[in-house]
């Protein structure tokens, strides 16, 4: 017997981070979560699974209109035609109190209630699924504590949307510990909420499938569900089932062997080629990080817009519409040879002298005020109230500000990237 365990589908939430680009794949960014979910249903039908479990955050929040619900009904109808039941639990994003619109679902879809734990059973082989949906988004009770004892002779599956405990990256929704889940005596815990795929434990299994589709650069790498193979009384294996339709990557390119911006751009191009070879046919959204000590460091910083244009040019030439650049981050440092260090410390010393004299230099302060005023004039009122330095810039009173920031700035420049 096989089943699919998915969670954190966040249907119809848009992908973020590429939309600023004029040539961004707008349609793909808008529909990626739907396309990934359609692929999941394709895979479930192809693998002739016995059932599908969705462990919360199917929806990103209340629907804008009924379109999202109609799409889900259509996919559930396909599973119904194939004789595949679905066990659906709601998490913090789609808690009962959050969802103002609702549709009847096909008879193959069984939702876990939010008042108390519900159990459903399948026969031949006997499977019992236990779960409780979130009633409110901010559910911080330990829901698992109320789950029923295992059904004897069945493969018991607990379905739960939880941050577990002590997970710093996530709010403490429905907290509980892995030993507590193990003690319940089930064979498999189908968890949701944590977007990174993680097998917390095997036999009994405690599994986060991860979210179905990465939505920004902080959700990198393959995304999807898991395919679980089991016999009548135990789980045999858990395999990842990637169904994402666009993949986010962070690509670090070492610029330490390069001397000019052009050489850096060519190194990025070679790295793009390697990335595409490894990714198969999937479109990629890439953040480029340039690292290392390089003589090109100054040029990269000084010509950032040109660098970005060149990197986009490489992506366009190599990517054939499957490679999108999210951002180019320059994290390089100056070369570490003695000459450069001396030049640098001279520059830092000159800047320190300039800044020391600056509070008493009326011309310099006037120039500075003129440069900064347009920025401050665009800042919202709340920001001006929250940051007194901005008010100082607006009133043209910069001497104190320069006195305050100068030591920190000089220390930062002097200490940054210095070799041993
Ligand atoms: Mn969640």
| Domain containing residue 309: CATH number | 3.30.370
Nearest to 332 by CA among 270, 272, 268, 289: 289
pLDDT of residue 91: 95
Position 251 in a domain: yes
Distance 60 CA to ligand 1 centre (A): 9
**Residues 132, 181 share a domain:** yes
User: Do 410 and 355 contact (CB within 8 A), yes or no?
Assistant: yes
pLDDT of residue 147: 97
Q: Which domain holds residue 312?
A: 247-330
Rounded to the nearest whole angstrom, what is the distance from the C-alpha of residue 33 to the centroid of ligand 1?
Answer: 16
Does 98 lie in the same domain as 210? Answer: yes
What's the confidence (pLDDT) of residue 116? Answer: 96
Alpha carbon of 297 to ligand 1 centroid (Å)? 41
pLDDT at position 420: 32
371 falls within a domain: yes
Are 380 and 350 in the same domain?
yes
With b for 16 or more beta-carbon neighbours within 10 A and e for fewer, the 266-283 pattern comes to: ebbbebbeebbeebeeeb
Low-confidence ranges of the chain (pLDDT < 50): 417-420
336, part of any domain: no
Q: Is the residue at 335 inside a domain?
A: no
Q: How far is the CA of 39 from the centre of ligand 1 (A)?
A: 22
Number of domains in the chain: 3
**What pTM did the predictor assign?**
0.79
């Amino acid at each position: 017997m096989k089943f699919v365990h998915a969670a954190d589908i966040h249907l119809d939430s848009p992908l973020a981070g590429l939309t600023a680009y004029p040539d961004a794949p707008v349609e793909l960014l808008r529909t990626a979560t739907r396309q990934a979910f359609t692929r999941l249903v394709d895979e479930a039908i192809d693998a002739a699974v016995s059932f599908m479990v969705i462990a919360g955050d199917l929806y990103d929040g209340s629907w804008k209109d009924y379109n999202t619900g109609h799409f889900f009904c259509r996919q559930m109808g396909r599973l119904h035609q194939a004789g595949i039941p679905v066990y659906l639990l709601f998490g913090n994003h789609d808690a009962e109190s959050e969802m103002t619109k609702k549709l009847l679902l096909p008879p193959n879809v069984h939702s876990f209630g939010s008042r108390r734990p519900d159990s459903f059973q399948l026969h031949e082989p006997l499977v019992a699924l236990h779960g409780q949906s979130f009633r409110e988004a901010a559910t911080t009770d330990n829901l698992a504590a109320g789950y029923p004892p295992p059904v004897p002779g069945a493969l018991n599956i607990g379905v739960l949307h939880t941050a577990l405990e002590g997970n710093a990256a996530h709010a403490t929704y429905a907290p509980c510990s892995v030993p507590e889940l193990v003690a319940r005596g089930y064979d498999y815990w189908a968890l949701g909420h944590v977007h990174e795929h993680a097998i917390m434990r095997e036999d009994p299994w405690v599994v986060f499938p991860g979210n179905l589709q990465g939505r920004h650069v902080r959700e990198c790498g393959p995304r999807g569900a898991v395919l679980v193979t089991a016999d009548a009384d135990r789980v045999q294996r858990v395999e990842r089932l990637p169904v994402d339709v666009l993949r986010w990557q962070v690509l670090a390119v070492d610029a330490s062997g390069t001397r000019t911006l052009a050489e850096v751009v060519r190194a990025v191009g070679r790295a793009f080629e390697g990335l595409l070879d490894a990714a198969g046919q999937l479109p990629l959204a890439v953040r480029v990080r340039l690292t290392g000590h390089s003589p090109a460091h100054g040029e990269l910083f000084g010509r950032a817009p040109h660098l970005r244009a060149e990197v986009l040019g490489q992506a366009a030439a190599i990517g054939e519409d499957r490679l999108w650049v999210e951002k180019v981050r320059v994290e390089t440092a100056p070369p570490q040879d003695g000459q450069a260090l001396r030049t640098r410390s001279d520059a830092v010393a000159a800047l320190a002298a300039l800044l020391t004299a600056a509070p008493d230099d009326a011309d310099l302060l006037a120039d500075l005020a003129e440069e900064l005023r347009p920025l401050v004039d665009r800042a919202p009122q709340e920001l001006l109230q929250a940051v007194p330095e901005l008010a100082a810039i607006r009133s043209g009173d910069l001497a104190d500000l320069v006195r305050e920031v100068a030591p920190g700035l000089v220390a930062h420049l002097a200490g940054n990237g210095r070799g041993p």
